[in-house]
Structure 1
Amino acid sequence: MHTKIIATLGPATETEEAITALVDAGARIFRLNFSHGGKEGFVKLVGIIRALEQKTGLTLTILQDLSGPKIRTCDIGRGTLDIAKGAEVLLGAPGQEEGRDEPFICLDQPALLRSINVGETVALSDGMLQFNVVAREGDLLLRLRAENSGIAPARKGIAFPGKTTPLAAFTAKDKDDLAIGMELGVDVVAMSYVQKADDICHLKAEMRNMGRVLPVIAKLERQSAIQGLDRILEECDGVMVARGDLGLECELAQLPALQKRIINAANAAGKPVIVATQMLLSMVSSPMPTRAETTDVANAILDGADCIMLSEETAIGKYPDKAVAFMRKIATWAEEFYFENQGANPKPPSDQEHPAKFLAYCACLLAQKTRSKALVTHSTSGSTARILAACRPKQPLFALSPDSRVRHFTNFSWGVTPVSPISEEDNHQERAERFVRESPLFSGGDVVVVTAGQPKRGQLQTQTNVVKVYEK
């Protein structure tokens, strides 16, 4: 299977037995959601994953997902409001409800309240309730009209579709959580509610202050992020189509097209892309997904996703390993159709004048024409492996790197199996060929296409400059 599966860990998967079952079912990347849980629990989970790496010899990647500025209503003791379509309610800061009998929703974000204008939309409870702002009644008080009926409990998420909020994407809590993640040794960091490229730069600056810069996945869940996607792709290392909040920020009917546009842009940039949210949601309580869910997962893969992610399904669901196994089965059939439809032809790069991209494409063409069993690349930074993966070769791709940080991140790229090379060999090409000679995955007579960036004397690293057809 070429597509990577990300499993979110939680109460349903906090034991060694449960995480082992996820690995056996096909998960290779594990998400730690820092919106829930504390340091003690994460220490335990990281310990289990690292022990499983040693035991299995597999590269298992840990993804830290920062909370970001999740905006919630506050509790003023009025309980749950029952809202009818057309009803008017007030949205304001704590204390603004005094002397008023009208339904009141509390928001303790003065900067945000001041930035909201008449005519804009407010979405509550993951979009289940929609309001239109009809009047401003004070610096910290707005009048809303309900567009549909529903309930409004306290402490629920609230969103402002299409609005660039004045809240920073990187919060004080995120800074504390990042320090914990660095201490625990996470491999990759996902940043929530990214609005612009500067948010990524800020996070990486904080990492430098902490002594280590990790790859950053930009979670795309704001309309402003979609508008600035090209610049965000320049600064981040990968992206996530976070369809939950993104579905509140845009017209729901627009979401499938947005998903395809984001995936196309990430593929063209040679950066891994994750599709997430409600992929097999019914499997939280059912041992089988719905027909619509299986189609959704397959379409994400056919769109060009490198990774597909499970959230509640593995964090709190009754059937976490079954969800991974079913997702793996869907991916296997979707990939079979993809290659049947495309033939064995690799996907040409969008920029064929870029030497590294064109050379990677040529290597994939060579693998196709010679009926090679695999492509093997030695990549110091991992960039060659990611460019090769973007060409979507039918053959498996083995990416050798002496840097464990690089190996853990290449785990996100389609079709890539990270490998630790033999350290005694200085020559990168020889390291790749030795891997083929010594690996039980290859038999005598097997043909493999080898790519490597062999530095000249005095160079620390270089672009790929060797492509070779190697027969074991």
Structure 2
Amino acid sequence: MYTKQTKIVCTIAHNRCEPDFIKSLFDAGMNVARLNTAHIEMEDAAYIVQQLRAVSNRIGILIDTKGPEVRIRDLETPLEVTAGQTLHVSADQQPTFGFCVNYDAFVNEVPIGSDLLIDDGEIHLTVQDKKDDQLICQVTNSGEIKNRKSVNVPGVNLQMPSLTDKDARFIEWATENDIEFIAHSFVRNRDDVMAIQSILDRRKSPIKIIAKIENQEGIENLESILDCAHGVMVARGDLGIEVPAEEVPNIQKMMIRTATRKVKPVITATQMLHSMIDNPRPTRAEVSDVANAIYDGTDALMLSGETAYGKYAVEAVQTMTNIAQKVEAEKEASSVTLPVIQQSADLMPRNYISKSAVEISARIGAKVIITSTRSGDTAQICASYRCRTPIVAYSASHRTVRELSLTYGVYAQCIDVPPECAELVNKTVNLLIDEGVLTPDDIVCYIGGGQVSARHTNLLQIDTVKTLLN
């Protein structure tokens, strides 16, 4: 249980979700399961959820919506193109030589001089002119253009609706199926987040929104996006197409830093161990990539094709776990560099106590920080300081436990919470003794309500195990 602090998100496919397979991923280090709605229908998703819940009630479930993206449509056969050729792009009818896209205003909104990147940049076109409601483009490199492939326009803010009809249906489905997280693609601004939140509010759903940042507009609006989203994902695939690839490492560091400062979980994603789809061992560059994301302070790392259809899915998760364990044992804690999070006056005692608990635990060598929590907020605040001391969060809510599956350094369990604080401390310490985590001489830091009924954290207690139990 206490093997690593960085969380791992694994993409699960509907045709590869047997309980034995899921348990193997869970045992190797998976904390959250991702369902990519671009490739599944609702009945597929329901089946995956059923299989996940059969394995463990501690696995968080994240559904990934498609979001506003431009794709090629109605191209019956692949189009072979050669560098220097001219082709036409339309949103209305199929050109003689070219293709149609799925966004009606595409031709109007894309200016002359823009770059079009097809299929994650495999084909590059430049817009030379506009004529008869078509873009006149020149092909920069030879290749093959296929139906349903993505079309990116770096530096151009297209005014597409934030939600597709399929997205809205899946979000409504999620509210009825006990899902913890919705990761929404191509979030550009606060309004994109609120479009999802309005559906959740209307259905009185507690689902948390993770904003996937995949373009320049999203980067520029990161602060305001984080003000209303639960967390963010550094979605490096499209991000590396929408902005120059050499800028992505610094953007990743900035996003992780900003999310951590705001006490919001952050996931780093895309091609982290991509070669392990076909090979039993990662490249050295991939190992360094995973390690650097952990050094940057990410809450979670995400695997996509590696676990959805890769030949070495369990090995990929185990590899990521091994890297995390090694890096976490050597990297410095960041607690001294982060200020106390500023919130309303009634929450500030909790926030000061949380930082104090982390700093004191580090200085005196406490074995664990124990917290009791209804919402998970105290555990998240402690985790934002990225301490080495494990944070063990106990809650009466299975949902809170699963929501904390995305938060760095937090090991959450669901228990029946005793009515008195002393009973709660006694119970949680005994549970950790039974698990072999604590011995009588270990120092423990407890942070929680002085009374179980307290509205906010107001108690910090530090002592040895044997003293707490006497």
TM-score (norm 2): 0.92
1:222·1:249 contact (CA, 8 Å) conserved in 2? Answer: yes
2:62·2:182 contact (CA, 8 Å) conserved in 1? Answer: yes
- CA deviation string 1:246-304 (max 9, x = no partner): 11110011111111111111111111100011000111111111111111111111111
Aligned with 1:7 (options 7, 10, 20): 10
Identity of aligned residues (%): 31
1:44 match: 47
2:162·2:195 contact (CA, 8 Å) conserved in 1? Answer: no
1:404/1:292 CA distance change after superposition, 3 Å: same
Equivalences, count = 454
Aligned with 1:403 (options 393, 397, 407): 397
2:68·2:162 contact (CA, 8 Å) conserved in 1? Answer: yes
2:91 match: 93
1:431 match: 424
Aligned with 2:263 (options 263, 270, 278): 270
2:75·2:146 contact (CA, 8 Å) conserved in 1? Answer: no
Q: Which amino acid aligns with 1:61?
A: G
- CA deviation string 1:359-401 (max 9, x = no partner): 3221111112221100011222211111111111111101122
1:12/1:298 CA distance change after superposition, 3 Å: farther
1:216 match: 209
Instruction: Give, in whole Å, the separation in 2 of the partners of 1:301 and 1:432.
Output: 32
Q: Does 1:444 align with 2:440?
A: yes
> Matches of residues 62-81 of structure 1 in structure 2 within 5 Å?
62-77=61-76, 79-81=77-79
Q: Which runs of 4+ in 1 moved over 4 A?
A: 351-354, 454-457
RMSD of aligned Cα (Å): 1.9
Instruction: Give, in whole Å, the separation in 2 of the partners of 1:433 and 1:222.
Output: 50
Instruction: Give, in whole Å, the separation in 1 of the partners of 2:255 and 2:192.
Output: 18
1:409 Cα offset (Å): 1.1
Instruction: Give, in whole Å, the separation in 2 of the partners of 1:335 and 1:4.
Output: 12
Moved more, 187-196 or 158-167: 158-167
1:281 match: 274
Residue aligned with 2:461, SS: strand
> Matches of residues 269-418 of structure 1 in structure 2 within 5 Å?
269-338=262-331, 342=332, 346-351=335-340, 355=348, 356-418=350-412
1:69/1:470 CA distance change after superposition, 3 Å: same
Instruction: Give, in whole Å, the separation in 2 of the partners of 1:128 and 1:108.
Output: 19
1:80/1:215 CA distance change after superposition, 3 Å: same
Q: Does 1:419 align with 2:413?
A: yes
2:468 match: none
1:12·1:320 contact (CA, 8 Å) conserved in 2? Answer: no
Residue aligned with 2:289, SS: helix
1:204·1:213 contact (CA, 8 Å) conserved in 2? Answer: no
Instruction: Give, in whole Å, the separation in 2 of the partners of 1:11 and 1:352.
Output: 41
1:182 Cα offset (Å): 2.2
Q: Which amino acid aligns with 1:447?
A: I
Instruction: Give, in whole Å, the separation in 1 of the partners of 2:102 and 2:341.
Output: 51
- CA deviation string 1:209-253 (max 9, x = no partner): 223131111111121110100000100001100111111110011
1:21·1:321 contact (CA, 8 Å) conserved in 2? Answer: yes
Instruction: Give, in whole Å, the separation in 1 of the partners of 2:135 and 2:214.
Output: 25
Q: Does 1:466 align with 2:459?
A: yes
Q: Which amino acid aligns with 1:268?
A: R
Instruction: Give, in whole Å, the separation in 2 of the partners of 1:254 and 1:370.
Output: 40
Instruction: Give, in whole Å, the separation in 1 of the partners of 2:113 and 2:404.
Output: 45
TM-score (norm 1): 0.91
Structure 2 unaligned residues grouped into runs of 5+: 466-470
2:328·2:388 contact (CA, 8 Å) conserved in 1? Answer: no
Residue aligned with 2:136, SS: strand
Q: Which amino acid aligns with 2:175?
A: M
Structure 1 unaligned residues grouped into runs of 5+: none
Instruction: Give, in whole Å, the separation in 2 of the partners of 1:314 and 1:76.
Output: 30
